[in-house]
Amino acid sequence: MRKAERMMKKWTGGALALLVLIAAFGAWRDSAAAPAKTNTANERGWWKNAVIYQVYPRSFQDTSGDGIGDLNGITGHLDYLKELGVDAIWLTPVYPSPNADFGYDVADYRDISPEYGSLEDFNRLVAEANKRNIRVVMDIVMNHTSDENTWFVQSRSSRTDPYRDWYVWRDGKDETATSPGEPPNNWGGYGHSSWVWDERTRQYYYHHFSPHQPDLNWYNPAIEQEFKEITSYWLKLGVAGFRFDAIGTLFEDANFRDEPAALDVNGKPILDAEGHPEIQHVMTGLHPQVHTVMQQMRAHIDSFDTNTFPGTRVLIGETGGRTVKDLLQWYGTSQQPEFELPMDQQLGFVNKLDVAAFRQKIIEAETELGGNVPLLVFDNHDRDRMDARYGDGVHDVAIQRALSTILFASGGASLMYYGDEIGMKTTPPKTKAEVKDTMTGLANWPKYKGRDGERTPMQWNDGPNAGFTTGTPWLPVPPSAATINVKVEEGNANSLLAWYKALIRLKKTVPALENGANIMLDTENTKVLSWMRQAQGAPQVVVSVNFTADAQTVNLAGPQMKAKTARALLKSPGGTDPAKLDRIELGPFGVYVGEVR
């Protein structure tokens, strides 16, 4: 609404003129936000075997020369994404924001940040994506807003303002006329309180994340209604669904009780690296009310244009949780569904090449999710890329082939991060002065250097700034871009990019990989992970992934096999096509995918 307010100030002709202006602005905005024609009406449940590509818009492609990626840059690479085999792109927030957390501090939920473009640019992106059968999924941040959001500006203006109860405000302990006293409770961590004193209204406000991200008060029903209207707004523009950020933190303990101390196995307090007592964080997250909210949000979104697009919207959840039981609850029930695809990060973030751990997580996703579809995730904008978490500096490309095989050849949907397909490397800032992710990178330097390292510009070619921008990129382009880039890899049949394309194509065209059950094979092997995909009426497919830098030989000719031979569908460069399943030879971190016959 800030645009409208600026326009209104130019008009001084009284109430009538203002009403005319408001009407004109509303008509303009409705026109700018005209729904793009969408292709989603022709597929129910498209997400069940989908490849979803996370775009970090700031780092994907700059078309304006300001060094910041934009919506037109994404539109310009839709053909690349289509050729890769992408079904949907998830955009991290592109709303107006002061960028204290690069978009996750939202100032206006119904507009596009000028640094990314305009609503017209967004409409064109959706329309062009639909022409290529690619859907657009928006990020929705419901836990908190920016402290520059109009809601919060009004909330902190007065204790009696109508927006006051939209946020979490509390009196301090032992407050006096000259002192704020102590924060309302011990919520926070690492020696820092999650409460900020506001001198104007003499109360503390709560923030789960940054002080620039005050938490919304979800005990106020007006918040839920507002976000239903916000999601409707973007659905009218043709988006295919939403990824819900940090959804588990929506509610806090209604009685504002202190967090209990974290204790070790001997019952002694656990201290952090700075000697501060750690707490359990049970009062500020995963309260049962969040499931009621998501059931209602799901019902609202399912009912939106239900006669036109039934079953085609998707809700993705950043749900957290440590076990498969934690993950299961986010699907809801058949009577009260919640997310179609809560993000399963338990497999992809094992963070060590441990065959037993990977096998167990795959079994759990197959057998303990009640038939729901898992969404496997190996990378995102908040974690070091795969090279830093799994690589050995020598076999990084081979290791990423192995990991991507698990991502795409296991059952369910797959979420990948921009640049994974070419093997982009984590490149953190070298000095504190270079840090752009000030929210996490400065306070913890040098132990933790923030999240810049996994957000560097997409590497399109070996030219200036890797083809990302003609200006100065907002983050430096890594030296690795000289050899790790799309242009170089498109010309190499053995490149990681070629591997991703081939693997995704198999996921979409081989019936057993499209919808077959996962059955683990050779389950005592601690060096090679092997499994079979089996669908009724279709040939079985076997997959073997070597987790070691040494050559391995495996025997998969067990009783589950309908035949004893196989035809290679995909194998690591230099790999062999075995005549029989009882002797599959794998090179260092080698992969074999074969159709049994």
- Reference 255, options 314, 307, 185; nearest CA is 185
Taking residue 8's Cβ as centre, other Cβ atoms within 10 Å add up to: 15
pLDDT given for residue 274 in this prediction = 67
Domains and CATH numbers, the chain: 2-32 (no CATH), 517-596 (2.60.40.1180)
CB 93 within 8 A of CB 454: no
pLDDT given for residue 13 in this prediction = 39
- Told to judge if 318 belongs to the known catalytic residues of this protein, a careful annotator would answer yes
Q: Is the pLDDT of residue 15 over 70?
A: no
CA distances from 369 to 5, 18, 228, 323 (A): 49, 55, 28, 11
pLDDT given for residue 308 in this prediction = 55
pLDDT given for residue 321 in this prediction = 80
**Gap between the Cα atoms of 270 and 300, Å rounded:** 43
Structure confidence by residue, pLDDT tens digits, 263-307: 988 888 898 766 778 899 999 999 999 999 999 999 999 988 655
Mean pLDDT of the chain: 91
Residues 6+ apart with CB under 8 A from 487: 460, 461, 462, 467
pLDDT given for residue 24 in this prediction = 40
Q: Which of 12-21, 312-321, 408-417 has the lowest mean pLDDT?
A: 12-21
| Active-site residue, selected from the candidate residues 70, 252, 259, 318 | 318
Q: Is the pLDDT of residue 79 over 90?
A: yes
Q: Which of 26-30, 163-167, 300-304 has the lowest mean pLDDT?
A: 26-30
- Told to judge if 245 belongs to the known catalytic residues of this protein, a careful annotator would answer yes
358-368 mean pLDDT: 96
pLDDT given for residue 25 in this prediction = 39
Structure confidence by residue, pLDDT tens digits, 387-403: 999 999 999 999 999 99
CA distances from 450 to 381, 440, 441, 453, 455 (A): 11, 5, 4, 7, 10
- The model's pTM is 0.92
CB-hemisphere CA count at 13 Å for 572?
Answer: 25
Per-residue pLDDT band at 498 (split at 50, 70, 90): very high
Per DSSP (E only), the strands in 246-366 are: 314-317, 341-344
| Active-site residue, selected from the candidate residues 70, 111, 139, 245 | 245
Helices 15-32 and 119-131, packing angle to 10 deg: 20
CA distances from 309 to 20, 191, 317, 337 (A): 36, 49, 21, 18
Structure confidence by residue, pLDDT tens digits, 225-248: 999 999 999 999 999 999 999 999
Q: Is the pLDDT of residue 542 over 70?
A: yes
Q: Is the pLDDT of residue 191 over 80?
A: no
Amino acid identity, position 267: G
CB 524 within 8 A of CB 401: no
305-311 mean pLDDT: 60
pLDDT given for residue 559 in this prediction = 84
- Using CA of residue 393, residue 397, residue 402, residue 407, what is the dihedral sign? positive
Can you list the pairs that 170-178 forms with residues at least 24 positions away whose Cβ atoms lie under 8 Å?
A: 170/195, 170/203, 170/204, 170/206, 170/256, 171/203, 171/204, 172/197, 172/203, 172/204, 175/202
pLDDT given for residue 31 in this prediction = 40
State what percent of residues in the chain have pLDDT above 70. Answer: 91
57-73 mean pLDDT: 98
Instruction: Classify residue 80 by its DSSP letter.
Output: H
In DSSP terms, 88 is beta-bridged to 52, 135
In the chain, count of helices (H) and strands (E)?
Answer: 16, 20
What are the structure tokens assigned to 232, written together? 């409707």
Exposure string for 565-583, b = 16+ CB within 10 A, e = fewer: ebeebbbbbebeebeebee
